[in-house]
Amino acid sequence: MMQQKPSDPLSQGSGQTQAFLQTRNRRDRTARKAFFGITLIPVLLIIVITCLLVIRAWPILSSQPLANLMLGEVWKPTNEQFGFLPFILGTVWVTLVGVILAVPACLLVAIYLAEYARRSTRTIAKPVLDLLAAIPSVVYGVWGLLVIVPFVDDILGPFFHRWLGFVPVFSVTQPTGFGIFAGGIVLAVMIAPLIIAVTFEVLSTVPDELRQASLSLGATRWQTISRVVLPRVLPGIIAAVVLGASRALGETMAVLMVVGNVPSIPTSIFDTAYPLAALIANNFGEMMSIPLYDAALLSAALLLLVIIMIFNILSTFVLQRILGKARI
């Protein structure tokens, strides 16, 4: 059968196809708008929540200089003293210990899985790691209470105190097991799957040709990883760690259960602490008769939200550039 002279549907189509094309395009535009609208909802939600927090926190934010709040060391709601410093430092310490404990192990695991492991090992290890990420926070908390706190109390605390006690950061002054170190250990385990998964993804973006180029020159695996692979993905690995840190900053339940919750300024990893998230969770809804108390808690929430948002945006930005570029 002979082909008809090819017709250009844009200019020469029959009336019917014209109409069809128009509806089709209109639908496409509508769908596009609808999807855009739905995508906008989370963004709006963040804006709304932030605004709400600002409004509710305003009474205290406007009553005194920000520095007073942030650097105040005393927390006595009954005296209307709202110093956030113990909580800010509590958050920083617990997060820092968690990240420091998690990162080296996570990097090794991710490097092992991405660079050394056989495919069969990977197919087993990955779901197990995902499972670890799916365990509810409160379960980690219970595990922390039952296992980690006694472990810190009976073994780690005495050990560190004996051998490194002369360094203030490692000395034990309140031997209960509850405190920053226990919180850090629990956090480290909780953020590990995320850091491992993201680092693994980042490592997978390195093209195999590069590894082969290095290996073909007689480099060992480790030389290839340390001189070719890692330098290339360093920003991505930092972003993975920051993402893990932002997860740790906001983690509430598990930490709250093991960290002691005493609003004082910690000087040792075996001291108790009171992170911002725990403060909010423990107190919100209580003692609301004290003026400004509610505002103080909500400004704590605002503070936490802002810090986490900054961490998240930075790391997502870096990761998108790395992962996005490789996927094109």
Choose between 59 and 235: whose C-beta lies nearer to other proteins: 235
Choose between 12 and 212: whose C-beta lies nearer to other proteins: 212
Choose between 9 and 207: whose C-beta lies nearer to other proteins: 207
Query: Are 190 and 248 spatial neighbours (Cβ–Cβ below 8 Å)?
Result: yes
- Gap between the Cα atoms of 286 and 317, Å rounded: 39
Least Å from the CB of residue 196 to other proteins: 21
Least Å from the CB of residue 126 to other proteins: 16
H/E run at residue 293: helix 293-327
Choose between 210 and 287: whose C-beta lies nearer to other proteins: 210
251 phi and psi angles, rounded to 5 deg:
-60, 125
Q: Which residue ranges make up the site for other proteins (CB under 8 A)?
A: 118-119, 207, 209-210, 212-220, 223, 227-228, 231-232
Which whole-number Å values give the CA distances from 45 to 38, 40, 212, 299, in the listed order? 11, 9, 47, 18
- Gap between the Cα atoms of 221 and 202, Å rounded: 18
Q: CA geometry: angle at 55 spanning 83 and 299, to 5°?
A: 20
Choose between 5 and 118: whose C-beta lies nearer to other proteins: 118
Least Å from the CB of residue 222 to other proteins: 10
Least Å from the CB of residue 215 to other proteins: 7
Structure tokens at 277: 């998230």
Structure tokens at 253: 């339940």
Choose between 65 and 231: whose C-beta lies nearer to other proteins: 231
Assign residue 137 a region (left: φ > 0; alpha: ψ between -120 and 50; beta: otherwise): alpha
Least Å from the CB of residue 208 to other proteins: 9
Choose between 5 and 119: whose C-beta lies nearer to other proteins: 119
Least Å from the CB of residue 120 to other proteins: 9
Least Å from the CB of residue 121 to other proteins: 11
Query: Are 278 and 258 spatial neighbours (Cβ–Cβ below 8 Å)?
Result: no
Query: Whose CA is closest to 73, among 64, 81, 65?
Result: 81
